Structure 1
């Protein structure tokens, strides 16, 4: 079945799974194994011949980075539970120990596949003139160049370390790469074991002098092995291996910490010294070196992974060369919405005209930055309130907030210190904001604040107008270039009041009452979603059209999945676009015959969260109830985080979400994977792959409807027809 068949025809026939207990835990897929399946889809993009060569290399690096984070957080947590004897099963019925066994098998297969893909890409890169030169093929001129490079750029940074009773085994940081060396003193044959940490401050691949139009590189570890005699004079190398460690990077913070920032600063130092949970090392390493490393790092046999190939695949991103555009995605410049241009860049005027929804990265995230910079410099703006979960190092948004505070405006910033791996950056940002005079708050100890809200209060005549921005992604100008997200701008009074109540909740623990167009977790979103699904089930039982379209990164919340199963059994047609983790089993008779699931993995990272309910009219429909959200449908988002679930009422915005964004995602063939009832995925097929519909290409070529006005309606109608549904 092709993607066109899958999306434009009646639902695929459901299958019987008589051996599956659909009333028990088996009705859910395991979260961790589903995530590993997602990361395999990422890696398989590296084998997609329709992806430019160096972008394929980038996918290998991304899959390796993803796997590192998975181990340092998810596997670390399961390992701790298993060591503590915790046997409570996950929703799918697997205990932590059982999950670790299955994870280890799948992860080892994935790491082996990474090496196979890298070797294939390396051969293709050589044909394109990008060469990684091994030590044995370095020319005399190369060796002379590397000698000078070593002495001037590398040697001063190195810390060669003997390992003996007087020199204890050194600390290797998380993701640290090192050489283990077995040396013999020439003068008397005395043996020495040593470690040479490979400095992360120096590129892993060293550009050699160009020759015949080729880009030539040498690996840093080869450079170090070439110059062992300069670090250990009088010794000769008898054996060596590489190893790389991953450490537990989860954080625990005392609930009653008197100073939250100081407590996080201490916790970050603890993270750097977390227990080693996985080590990769060169296959066929000398036995004495392997034994030394394993003993000193207190590793169990199952925590050691021996690889024949490259250790530290994540570093391959350094070989994605900007000066080879012929091997990269064709460049794309995000659009400035026509409506903003019509108002000479005045964001407030553009929003006053009517609500505006921007689709990043196709519409530039600079509009969000401009919104806040304009607010900072506008004498009529009295107050700015802002949530910050993740943002860039030298954030223009933080800069705008500091400028506004220094100008005497009331600025409140909610900085989430528990944004994983961005805690240190967020502490720096909070200190900067405090110095500028902003009110900085840190939300709740028990909940992360993951909501994405900006609120600007502006005096217009004799009244105050609140301009609000609700987003599905972070206020991060760099990731906004590669993540697909939505920015909703409005001066709707109800949404302005809702935003104010949420900020009061975050800063003063005043639980919001009477929210009008907004739901927040952990108080309201989950019951709201379940009620909306039950309402669709009622429509189906009344014989009315009943349909649900959902797009998000992850779906694993058990109660929500059960509500989706019940809606399916009532006859509701449910189509889910779930990029990553998915715990729901589609297409099973008696359980989920009306549910279909696809995942999109391509040029951009699908990140926007959307939920559309037919409201008794099917989809697409002007009567649909349409929501954008900061939350995936996961337990942590719905039960332990502050998130937003915003209903959109503006007809143009609704048409853009349903008839343009969702329709294109559902229509996509080129980047789509279809989930089977057994948990496996398959890619759509076509006799003409070059003509397969690609939603990212479509969005790059077609402006967002609400940023353009009614001129974009023809595109939406055409796309809705492609999807096989009335506009």
Structure 2
């Protein structure tokens, strides 16, 4: 069979990421036997968010998609502060001086974070200024109150009175009206008013309701005109405070500590989480963003009442809350968006007229989302719910959509009398409330809902369907690297593996028994789990590659994930590198490993891909006595990043690909394309900084995302084209 492979040559150049020798190793800066061998986790994450922001400046990206990247960089930073910075702040305030793996104390990390984050936020405003100018040229305007014309006022008045005024709650600030509570991500206007008849001063707050869109579309004969909601409020101060004139104002936005603490011995876990979610809204303020030039009196009152210190205040010379700019990324201007892309339905499924069980019975199938549609996962569960021969369904739910078709199918199956077990993770950060709602819906339908462990999150992505076929029961298993979330599956790159292999079915059932009944899984055949054994298995496999290299045999490690910070794993990779193992890593976000350091990591290369789709799949390939790629390699996909929390404090899965076609798909298509990508790649230096991949000579940029959009996955091919897959060697943007 001719397979679509990525060859290690792009256009006329022979120096790409796959074949090129490692860059010349740098001399170590500091003691590479001590903490200096690690790069700081938090600063590495900030570096990732800088890369996201730089896509907002990338002229190769469509204009509104650049605006989306800007918005993502802002919402990312907000979450970083409400979780990571909040935790470090708590440690520092308690006097904790325990250093991180890189040797920095919480207080030292906070100082470095603050400096870098302030630079990042300034750059966000600079980028927005550039984007607004380009949007103006394209006929998209973000207005201020001063830009409103007389012709606009009747529409704005009607909109304000009918759609905004009923939701507003103006609040005076005086001894009789104490400063109100502003929740996490709360946005408000602080007002300085003067009574017209006697000049009496009044201070007031006007919370900006989050239930209403931040940007109001104004009628326009050509183009698009948007007025921020706070500007509409300022235009109508007279209606909100009759008899008063506005003499000063500022906008501010609050971020609070959003981590959850749950009592270990909670008798009712769901009720405990509902209480904890309410506490999250009242967490301590970790950052206050305040519009520049705020009247000193208003600034002082806000800081005293929240309360916040001076170093927790960010003055914003521009738009406060730029995460909301995502509202302007609409389908009205398709020429300013990525070209349309429709995910493929696997040909094998089409050959079987949509019957997922028949397609899986024919052979194991690995789908690469979003290039192959996630609808196949939904169809798998829906078909199981409607199939009279299905007797049982088990499903993990870490994150899913609000109106989840998978939850609907599980409810339908339970109502039909099937045995349905749903493992719902209540501790999925920022999805706790949604998961509580889903669990109650499932329970009402008659499903058995399990919440897993108090101390461990269940992050594994597994579903099993038990079907009666003749006189036997057959278990169909789905294992994935991503969440059962139809919305995010449109932009997250993930793997979905379907099989009716009895061994993996037994393994998956043991995992459900472990989480539901604390039955320690024994005799796992084709699957490893954390926190019981996955880490030691990975360390053994890395060690085996080092032994092969020391013995003069071929070796290699390829890995792809979102984050690499687990110190034991990093040290194992360093040891393997010193033995001569070539190691290529695709790390989207946080990387605590320093590549290319002389005497430490000379054979390790690290890259990050930031582009149209969010890289989310976790893969690791070991040469197993051969150079990669090889049909003899041991190939795995996983729900786990290589982080302490994933390997030590979560229930995760690592599944070995045994089917030759699936192995080839992962090594010769997915990993090879990621390693060959130059269009959206950033290469990490030993200083922890990522720099855009450089092209050499006449080399044309190769886009892994574009290749995957154009090339069907090997294991999903059907009779319509199994023998004539094109042999693509490069794809130019």
**Shared fold (TM-score, shorter chain, > 0.5):** yes
How much has 1:134 moved relative to structure 2?
2.1
Aligned: 1:20 with 2:13: no
Relative to 1, partners in 2 of residues 1:716 and 1:39: Cα closer, same or farther, differing over 3 Å?
A: farther
Distance in 2, matches of 1:687 and 1:94, equals 38
Residue pair 1:576, 1:598 contacting (<8 A) in 2 also: yes
Aligned length: 720
- In the alignment, the residues of structure 2 paired with residue 717 and residue 23 of structure 1 have an alpha-carbon distance, to the nearest angstrom, of 46
Aligned residue number for residue 284 of structure 1: 293
Separation in 2 of the partners of 1:145 and 1:351? 57
| CA-CA distance at 1:15 after TM superposition | 2.6
Partner residue of 2:593 out of 584, 601, 605? 584
Greater percentage in helix: 1
Shift of 1:709: 4.7
Alignment of 1:141-180 (within 5 A): 141-180=151-190
Give CA deviations for 1:642-697 in whole Å, capped at 9, x if unaligned: 00000010000000000000011011011000000111111123479994111111
2: CA distance, partners of 1:78 / 1:226: 41
Gaps of 5+ in 1: 723-727
Matches within 5 A, 1:546-695: 546-686=555-695, 691-695=700-704
Counterpart in the other structure of 1:87 = 97
Instruction: Describe the SS at the equivalent of 1:114.
Output: helix
Q: What SS class does the counterpart of residue 284 from structure 1 fall into?
A: coil
Q: 1:137 offset after TM fit, Å?
A: 2.3
> Does the 8 Å contact 1:131/1:215 carry over to 2?
yes
CA distance in 2, matches of 1:470, 1:443: 18
Contact 1:179/1:198 (8 A) holds in 2? yes
Other structure's SS at 1:503 match: helix
Q: Note the alpha carbon deviations across 1:349-391, whole angstroms, 9 max, x for none.
A: 0000010000000000000000001011111111111100000
1 CA distance for matches of 2:585 and 2:723?
A: 25
Report the equivalent of 1:531: 540
| Structure 2: runs of 5+ lacking an equivalent | 1-9
Counterpart in the other structure of 1:353: 362
SS across alignment from 1:323 = coil
Q: Is the 8 A contact 2:559 2:585 kept in 1?
A: yes
After superposition, residues 90-109 of structure 1 pair within 5 angstroms as 90-109=100-119
Q: Which residue of 2 aligns with 1:63?
A: 73
Secondary structure of the residue aligned to 2:24 is coil
Q: Distance in 2 between matches of 1:693 and 1:714?
A: 22
Structure 1 position 9, deviation (Å): 3.5
Match 1:29 to one of 36, 39, 51: 39
Query: Alpha-carbon deviation of 1:201?
Result: 1.0
Residue 480 of structure 2, aligned match among 471, 483, 486:
471
Partner of 1:725: none
Query: Does structure 2 conserve the Cα–Cα contact (< 8 Å) formed by 1:705 and 1:713?
Result: no
Partner of 2:64: 54
The residue aligned with 2:4 is none
- The equivalent position to 2:133 in structure 1, one of 101, 123, 128, is 123
Residues 181 and 193, structure 1, Cα contact 8 Å, conserved in 2: yes
Structure 2 partner of 1:314: 323
Alignment of 1:416-427 (within 5 A): 416-427=425-436
1:398 paired residue number = 407
SS of match in other structure, 2:589: coil
Q: How does 1:36-51 map to 2 (within 5 A)?
A: 36-51=46-61
The 2-side partners of 1:28 and 1:353 are apart by: 47
Q: Would the aligned equivalents of 2:18 and 2:675 in 1 still touch at CA under 8 Å? A: no
Between the aligned partners of 2:327 and 2:283, the Cα distance in structure 1 is: 27
Instruction: Sort the Cα spacing of 1:633 and 1:380 in 2 relative to 1 into closer, same or farther, 3 A.
Output: same
Shift of 1:472: 0.1
Distance 1:18 1:522 in 2: 34
Distance 2:149 2:506 in 1: 70
Equivalent position to 1:241, from 234, 238, 250: 250
Output aligned runs, 1:112-511, within 5 Å: 112-211=122-221, 213-511=222-520
For the 8 Å contact 1:670–1:692, the answer to whether it is kept is: yes
State whether residues 18 and 672 of structure 2, in contact with CA within 8 Å, keep that contact through their aligned partners in structure 1: no
Instruction: Indicate if the aligned counterparts of 1:356 and 1:706 stay in contact, CA closer than 8 A.
Output: yes
| Structure 1 residue 713: Cα displacement | 6.9
Instruction: Supply the RMSD in Å over aligned alpha carbons.
Output: 1.6
Q: CA deviation at 1:151?
A: 1.1
